A and B are shown apart, each in its own frame.
Chain A
Amino acid sequence: MIENLECRRMRNRLNAYLDNELSASEKAEMERHAAECPECARMLGEYKSIHAMLGELDRDIAVPEEASRAWRAAVRDEAETRKRKGKAHTLRIAGSSIAAALVLMIGMTTVYRGLNLPSAAANNGTAGYRSELKLTADTAVPEESFAADYDDMAAAFEEPAFEFAESASMKSAFLESDGQANADAGAGSLTPVIAHSAERTIETQDLDACLDELDAIAAAYDGRFEYRRMTEPQDSGDTRKMEAVIRLPGENLEAFLDEVDTTGTVVSKAEFAEDISADYYGNTAKLATLEAQEERLNALLKEAETLEAVLDLEDKIYKVQYEKDEIEAAIADSANSTGYSGVTLTVNEVHFPQAAADTVPSLGERAGSAFRDSLRWVSLFLQDMVVALAAFWPLLILAVLVIAVICTIVHYSRKRRGRL
């Protein structure tokens, strides 16, 4: 029984014995028992043999050269792949960042333009703006009978050119006054009085230079600006515009218009001829009638004996004088038109001028024009992009930071997933 207990104790301590975990006395006790118990001695011996042999089994093991080469080559390939991936990854990050930045910039510029904020391209005056300068011209047919100056013309109409009573008399008196001969007094045909006017709409990319040129042309042809108005742009999409009315001697109209057409691109032109004969002759006749009537009323006033008659005649004289004033004003308007041409001019400053009104561009011209227009558009867009960058730089920095954080999170989460 004791022997079995000792044997059991020995078996329980075998591992500790092999692992040197027993004290010297415990070890000695086991060896003592082994010396007395053949079975336990055999077991201990086997354990010790196995323990010793296992310890020796791979003590001098050599790694086969093939195995050593294989793992080293694999590791080197892995290192190279990692370097390539690193470069590709860096290029991908750089490319993605640049693409994201471009998208951001284009988006910002588009938003910026949509908000119609003032842009550098709109304010530096170097791009073209649209402006219109209209010149209208009125001319009268009897050119030589009237003086160039309005005052002289008004004075000339203070004396009636004819009497109203008979059309023949009207005609002969008129013809006599303007020096033109018309022997058919009974025919009833009068020389028509035609008022000529013209309109021009011009586009230019350099409004200031164009206006300087127009001033010089107007001065050369004795023209004067009766009306002039400049419109400044209110928004980034608007352009400058010039509207004016120039009056010049009728004989200079054609030459004047020819030179005006060279100052820019004519996008529209018009010339008008209005027959104002009825108004012209009618008003003159009416004036003569009213003056005769006034003379008779004044003569009657001198002979009036009663107060009632005096008041009545003065009232009539007042009405006649009122009508005379109106007729004289109408005649003055006609006189203003006669001998002078009025030109209504509109000059628009533009970015991209349209084709001239009377020209049909060829395919090559259209393609070339379209290419130039696209280059100008790109230039303007880039200018707006720079201004948008200056306007939105805080938002841009914030967006870049957010994108960088997101990319970093995605990168490390992918790395972690790759390891798992």
Chain B
Amino acid sequence: MQTNITDEMLLINKAAKGDSWAFEQLVNKYEARLYSVALRMCGNREDAQDCLQDAMLRIYRSLDRFKGQSAFSTWAYRITMNTCLDELRRRRSRAATSLDALLETGWDPAAETVTPEDAAISAEQRRELEAAIADLPEDMRSAIILREMHDMTYEEISEALDTNIGTVKSRISRGRERLRQLINGRPGLFGDDE
């Protein structure tokens, strides 16, 4: 663990000086997680790809300001989340996009990820869940994603979202309840029809 932290700091120092190879080595292990955040916040693959690219560039440019005040992963999550929130604000200024509107354009949430045969959740469940997440208000969505999907602690989430722990707990609580209501509105997710 100590060696990993030291290696990570060495890569950070090199990347901060402009070494793009060092940067790629540094963020390789976080790439999937950051993409997941972008995908769930933006709700579609194209926007997620753009957000991921923007987030990576921001992380690369800001490396010389990272002084170890938090874990690098937490810092990277924060930049990625901010990038996604910026994109959502821009999207809001263009047009309100609801899940139904997205679906009308042919967007298929299930196409974002492949569901293996022996997956813990079915494709149907995945589809419903992704739609419910996309329907959450942004503040709840961000807290839920980091807590439920990335298993971050309340302290880490408060750092990533730049808010206090009380607010984080409130958003998570309300987000879970809202998800339950949304999912209850979509029959079949909990197997009610069975």
Query: What is the interface of chain A, defined by CB distance below 8 A to chain B?
Result: 14-15, 18-19, 43, 45-47, 49-58, 60-64, 66-68, 70-72, 74-76, 78-79, 82-83, 86, 419
Is the Cβ of A67 less than 8 Å from the Cβ of B53? yes
Chain A interface helix/strand/loop/mixed = helix
B173, A15: Cβ atoms closer than 8 Å: yes
- Does B78 lie at the interface of the complex (its beta carbon under 8 Å from any beta carbon of A)? no
8 example contacts (A-B, Cβ-Cβ < 8 A) are as follows A14-B176, A47-B180, A50-B129, A67-B48, A67-B53, A70-B53, A78-B57, A419-B62
Q: Is the CB of B120 within 8 A of A15?
A: no
A67 and B172 within 8 A (CB): no
Interface centre among A51, A58, A63 (most CB of B within 10 A): A58
Q: Are B45 and A64 within 8 A (Cβ)?
A: yes
- Are A72's CB and B151's CB within 8 A? no
Rounded to whole Å, the gap between the CB of B66 and the closest CB of chain A is 12
A residues near B120, Cβ cutoff 8 Å = 52-53, 56
Q: Which of A52, A54, A61, A79 has the most CB of B within 10 A?
A: A54
Q: CB of B92 within 8 A of chain A? A: no
Q: What residues of chain B lie closer than 8 Å to A83, measured between beta carbons? A: 18
Number of A-B residue pairs, CB cutoff 8 Å, is 109
Cross-chain contact A67 with B32 (CB below 8 angstroms): no
CB atoms of B24 and A72 under 8 A apart: yes
Cα of A153 to Cα of B172 in the assembled complex, Å = 135
Q: Which of A52, A67, A75, A78 contacts B35 (CB 8 A)?
A: A67
Among candidates B18, B40, B65, B172, residue contacting A15 with C-beta atoms closer than 8 Å: B172
A339 → B minimal CB distance (Å): 96
Which residues of B sit under 8 angstroms from A68, Cβ to Cβ?
Answer: 31
Within 8 A of A (CB), among B138-194: 144, 147-149, 151, 154, 169, 172-173, 176, 179-180, 183-184, 190
Contact of A78 among B39, B45, B61, B183 (CB under 8 A): B61
Q: How far is the CA of A75 from the CA of B16 in the complex (A)?
A: 12
Give Cα distance in the complex from A60 to B180, angstroms: 24
Instruction: Flag if A74 contacts B56 (CB, 8 Å).
Output: yes
Query: In this assembly, does B134 line the interface, its C-beta being within 8 Å of a C-beta of chain A?
Result: no
Contacts A60-B116, A62-B114, A74-B57 known; 13 new A-B pairs at CB < 8 A: A15-B176, A46-B184, A47-B176, A50-B129, A55-B151, A56-B120, A57-B121, A57-B129, A61-B36, A66-B49, A71-B56, A78-B57, A79-B18
